[in-house]
Each structure stands twice: as C-alpha cells, then as structure tokens.
Structure 1
Amino acid sequence: MSRRNKITVIGAGNVGATTAHWAASRHLGDVVLVDIKPGMPQGKALDLAESGPPMGFDLNLSGTQDYADTAGSDVVVITAGVPRRKDPKTGEYTSRDELIETNRKIVGAVTKGVVEHSPDAVLIAVANPLDAMCHVTLHESGFPKQRVIGMAGVLDTSRYKTFIAMELGVSVEDIHGMVLGGHGDTMVPLPRHTSVAGIPLTELLPKDKIDAIIQRTRKGGGEIVGLLGYSGYYAPAASACVMVESVVRDRKRVLPCACLCEGEYGYDGLYLGVPAVIGKGGVEKIIEMELNDEEKAMLDISANAVRDVVKLLPYTSAAS
C-alpha cells in the first residue's frame, strides 16, 4: 500500500499556514505545521482539517512543537523567521538585509531540527533575506545542493505576470516569462524573453510601460507591506506550493528558483534565482539561458547584491 506524501511547513504564521492551505486544497499530501507558539499550529491545523468536508480534501493535517512529528517528510517548507514590517513612526519598512542576523539564527535552528528526522527531504527556504537563508539552510542541513532550494523567482515571476496581464487586460494564463536574480530590488525581469500567447511582449507594450512594470515588480513586496503594514502571504505561499507540487508529483516544472550556482551563468558558490527543472530529488538541472550584454550586466548587479549580503554570514564557504 502506497503512502501519501508528507509535507512539513515550519512556521504557522501567515505564509506558513497559507502554504498548508494551498497544499491541502491541491491534495498534495498530509501536512504538518510546526511553530514554537503553543496551540498555534495545532489550532490552525485543526481549523484547516475542519474545512476538508466542505472543500473536498481528505488528508491528515496536524500541528506540533515537536520535530519528531515531522519524521519522514518528503518536502519541508521553511517559512519561520521575522517578517518585514512597516515602522509606524517613519513609514519605512524593514529591509530584507536587516533581517539577516535574526533570521539566520531562527532558520539555522529549525533546519537542524527538521533534518534530524527527515534526512531525505527536499528543503524549500522562504524566509528573508531569501538568497542568504538558502546558504544558511544548506550549511546547517549538510544536504547536497540539489535538495536545498529557495522560493523567490516563482513569486517574483508571478507578480511580473500579474502586472503585465493588468496592463494588457488579458488572462494571466497567457503570459509567459520569468524573473531571475536575487530576491530584492535588483531582480532581473526579462522582457526580451516574455510573451503573451507567443507574441513578444515588446510588440505589445512600449518600452516605458515595460520599464514601469519591471519597477513595480522589483518593489512588489514593498508595495504590499506599504498597504498592509506587513508582508504579503497569499502569493508567497502559492509560489511555495507550486514548488512543493513539482517535487512530490515529480512534475519536472521549469521554475525560476534560488539554486546554488557552481559555474552556471559565471557564478560559483552563490545562491541565485535561475531557471531550474524541479522534480522528486529537488533541482534536477539548472537551465542556462542565453542572455545579451544588458541582461547579463543586470544579473551581475543582482549577483553582487546577493554576495554582499551573503558575506555577512559566518560561513567561509558561503562568503567566498
């Protein structure tokens, strides 16, 4: 008798709980929510389980503080960490970079806790600063690079496609393209490689409109924080869920994810958003696109920005 897939989500806050919600609604497998706050993951898991009868999913949904309950997970999504928040006095919101030391400790601790019980899992990092947290997860887990992936490009690409669809008044399903680079203001949307039902985006929108969409994409997370006063969670959770689905169902989706580059695109020992085939074992292949001089220059800027943050980590291998 075959067993159901097992998915653990670390952190039962907005992103974590919504990831569990999307995963359950797509029947991806049994879900375990983990959080240090007593009652919080148990309550959210129970609430979600009680939505099964009307919504038509029949899975085991549980919450816990004990990592032993996560044993044998196929995929672990790490959302634990301090989110970006808006300062009520200045109106400024916390930068991803400012989060690094606090979230390094949190992500490092939860990674150790979960890999002890799920040594064969694929780990998907979501906490910010995303690219740096991938290095933390890789270092603390001791896993091969293929099984430590960051969720960033899927979210950035989703925002990019959404804004294009809004501008053109077309279905998001017909927008094809992706965003590469670090998860931040230096991310690299690629309009030259973007199409609408096969029609190049550059034929449908003038350069100034495309540039405005690119800027809105780069500031997409900040726009949400500015409106809500805290980070968005529906789109980040949905993006993580797409990655989970590609792993547990071995779909081999080509997704822009934070992967450890070792020579690809000219970068070595650095997590960066690149197109990758995601399957049962995690990253099965990094696809190297042909970039023109302008695109490669933008990706270099993004890689340097990521490297500057990674250098703050106390890991020699990650900072090199």
Structure 2
Amino acid sequence: MSENNHFKNGNGRCKMATIDKLFTPVQSKSDDTGNKVTVVGVGQVGMAAVFSMLTQGVTNNIAMVDVMADKLKGEMMDLQHGSAFMRNAKIQASTDYAISAGSRICVVTAGVRQREGESRLDLVQRNTDVLKHIIPPLVKYSPDAIFVIASNPVDILTYVTWKLSGLPKHRVIGSGTNLDSARFRYLLSEKLGIATTSCHGYIIGEHGDTSVPVWSGVNIAGVRLSDLNPKIGSDSDPENWKETHEAVVKSAYEVIRLKGYTSWAIGLSLSQLARAILTNAMSVHAVSTYIKGEHGVEEEVFLSLPCVLGRAGVCDVIRQPLTAAEAGQLRTSASLMDKVQAGINF
C-alpha cells in the first residue's frame, strides 16, 4: 500500500531516463527521519492525532495501521495529497505491522465500543483481546519505542499493554487525564476570564468518573485559589466551584451526545505528548503511569499523576502534595481499577 510501483535505484529514486538526466547522484538516501510515529487505528481519534502531529510539525514520518484496508488507504492518500501544505511528510499505511518498524512512538487508539447493557469488565476483556493482536507485533518491529495508549478504558488498557508487551513501566504511557486537565483549565479560564494557558491545575487518577480534581494546587500566577477560598471544590463551597469538575466529567458524554464521538481535543492531547517525547522536552503532563507506592496506593495499577516526559518516556513522577481527601479519592480510584483488572483473562 505504501510502496511505489516503479523500480527504485540505489539512491531511492524511481529508475527512469528523465530522473537520470535531472539528477547527478552524490550519495544514497535514507528514509529514516528519526521521529517516526505509528498510529494504530484510523478512526476519529486516530486521524485527529495524525492530523495534529503532521500539521503541528511534531513529526514528518507517520505510519498508520488498521484492519480496514480501504479506509486506511483512503486516509493515507488524502493526507499524501496535502503533503505540499506540510513539512515534507512521509505518510505510510498498511494492514501489515511491518510498516511500523523503527518507530520512536507507537500510539494505540484502536478498540471496540461499549455495547448497550455491556458491563465495564466485558468491554475491558473485549479490548484486551484486541490488544493481544496489536501489542506483540508492535514490540516485534519497534522494540525500543515508547507506547502511548489512548483506547478506553485507558488506564486499565495501559496496564494491559504493560503486561502484554513486557516493556519497562516507564515506556508504557496512557493518555490518561492530560485531556481532563486541559478541559479543567479551559473551564477555569472561562470562569475567571483569563487565558487557558494561564490557569494551572490538574485532574489526576482515573480518566473517567472517579477522576480527582486537585483543588489544593489550582493556581493563577502562583496564587492558590484554595488560599482565597478555603472551601473551594467542596460540598460546602458557597461559590460551587465543584460544578467545574462535574462539567469536566460530563463533557465527553456531552460531546458524544452532540456529535457522536470526541476527536479533536484528544488528538491535540496525543500530539502534545508525542512532541514532549520526541523533543526530550522534560515537560510535565498528567498521564497514566504505574503508581504503586505513590500516595499510599498499594495496587499494581496505572492512573494519572503529573509526570515528566522525555525521550525515555516517563522520567519522573511529581510528588504532588495532596490533601487527605484528595489522596483518599485517588486510592479509591486505584482500588476500583484493581478489582476490574483482577477479572481480565490474559
């Protein structure tokens, strides 16, 4: 699907008289850009991630993998036709995982959707069965890659990927609450009337209903809102800031109700994480990582905490000061994940 039909000479060019007359070969060319990213799954989320990475200049070397050959080829061609508007992007696609060889990052967005009446555990098992066909070949062709998981439920599937891959924990990352934190900052900015980028706050724990807003750390220019309003985010807060977090939890459901799926925000989130890894940025992001031993968590689970990301994946987990209530909520989330994971058939 990604190969040119013309025979190529030693310089990586198609062999024909016109080209031989046009160029004087100096040395052979390499296709390795050093920033290859493979995205598995060309649904709404996968394509939003690909489009964000290409148009933001995060990478100019993308490989896409999916089982739907026609859609895969169509998405590839559509992007290739726009290559004049991008930074000399190399865009490949195939149903064969060999196309992913040599990737620096493997982003997994593939998975099945929850059926009506289906339990969370059933969905986890079905997506675990999907990952059994995805993770081993990715590891085979890109054994040194960082794995970024976006498939839901993302925290449990990040744990599943860690188990299936045999990779060290710092190289398996879930997109986690990076998006939840972005939604939180946006809603805070709307309430305060300042830029989203000037609002600082994190959602930690599960990417889902048991996520934890760290109200104790929310600040503007270093001014903690909890110092101005000690009851902020609590049930007794007269200003009802708690509704901001409630809106974060509900926002995905609302977007899905309105347009059928979420795509752009998670695509931009994945692009940000890829940039941090490829550029060795050492920037802090709320991503799903192995948190046993953090904040009193005793289970082997992956949940989101602020992490320093670089070329090696997760370089540090920030020792974020939490109130007793916040730490308790995180441990409750960890216990829930552990119970679901206990029923997974590997």
Task: Tell me the TM-score normalised to structure 1 length.
Answer: 0.90
1:3 maps to which residue?
Answer: 33
- Report the secondary structure of 1:237's partner residue: helix
- Report the secondary structure of 2:129's partner residue: helix
Q: Which has the larger radius of gyration?
A: 2
Describe the superposition over 1:41-76 as per-residue Cα deviations: whole angstroms up to 9, x where unpaired. 22112212222323x422101111111111000000
Contact between 2:201 and 2:219, CA under 8 Å: does it hold in 1? Answer: yes
Name which of structure 1's ranges 1-10 and 266-275 shifts more when overlaid on structure 2.
Answer: 1-10
Which ranges of structure 2 fall in alignment gaps of 5 or more residues? Answer: 1-29
Using the TM superposition, give the Cα deviation of residue 211 of structure 1 relative to its aligned residue in structure 2, in angstroms: 0.2
2:284 maps to which residue?
Answer: 254
What letter matches 2:57 in structure 1?
A: H
Q: Does 1:105 align with 2:136?
A: no
2:332 maps to which residue?
Answer: 301
- Report the secondary structure of 2:187's partner residue: helix
Distance 2:294 2:215 in 1: 21
Distance 2:306 2:290 in 1: 12
Distance 2:105 2:283 in 1: 16
1:219 maps to which residue?
Answer: 250
Using the TM superposition, give the Cα deviation of residue 104 of structure 1 relative to its aligned residue in structure 2, in angstroms: 0.9
Distance 1:164 1:293 in 2: 23
What pairs up with 1:1-320 in 2 under 5 angstroms? 3-29=33-59, 30-54=61-85, 56-83=86-113, 98-202=122-226, 203=228, 207=237, 208-228=239-259, 230-268=260-298, 269-314=300-345
Which ranges of structure 1 fall in alignment gaps of 5 or more residues? Answer: 316-320
Change (3 A) 1:96 1:279: farther
What letter matches 1:292 in structure 2?
A: T
Name which of structure 1's ranges 206-215 and 137-146 shifts more when overlaid on structure 2.
Answer: 206-215
What letter matches 2:136 in structure 1?
A: K
Describe the superposition over 1:188-234 as per-residue Cα deviations: whole angstroms up to 9, x where unpaired. 01122011233323438783431000111122222222222x33111
- Report the secondary structure of 1:176's partner residue: coil
Distance 1:71 1:199 in 2: 47
Name which of structure 1's ranges 94-103 and 206-215 shifts more when overlaid on structure 2.
Answer: 94-103
Name which of structure 1's ranges 3-12 and 40-49 shifts more when overlaid on structure 2.
Answer: 40-49
- Report the secondary structure of 2:49's partner residue: helix
Distance 2:180 2:104 in 1: 25
What letter matches 2:248 in structure 1?
A: T
- Report the secondary structure of 1:305's partner residue: helix
Change (3 A) 1:96 1:307: same
Contact between 2:121 and 2:343, CA under 8 Å: does it hold in 1? Answer: no
What letter matches 2:162 in structure 1?
A: L
Describe the superposition over 1:298-319 as per-residue Cα deviations: whole angstroms up to 9, x where unpaired. 112221222222222135xxxx
Contact between 1:97 and 1:129, CA under 8 Å: does it hold in 2? Answer: no
Give the aligned length: 307
Using the TM superposition, give the Cα deviation of residue 95 of structure 1 relative to its aligned residue in structure 2, in angstroms: 7.2
What letter matches 1:209 in structure 2?
A: N
What letter matches 1:107 in structure 2?
A: L
Task: Tell me the TM-score normalised to structure 2 length.
Answer: 0.83
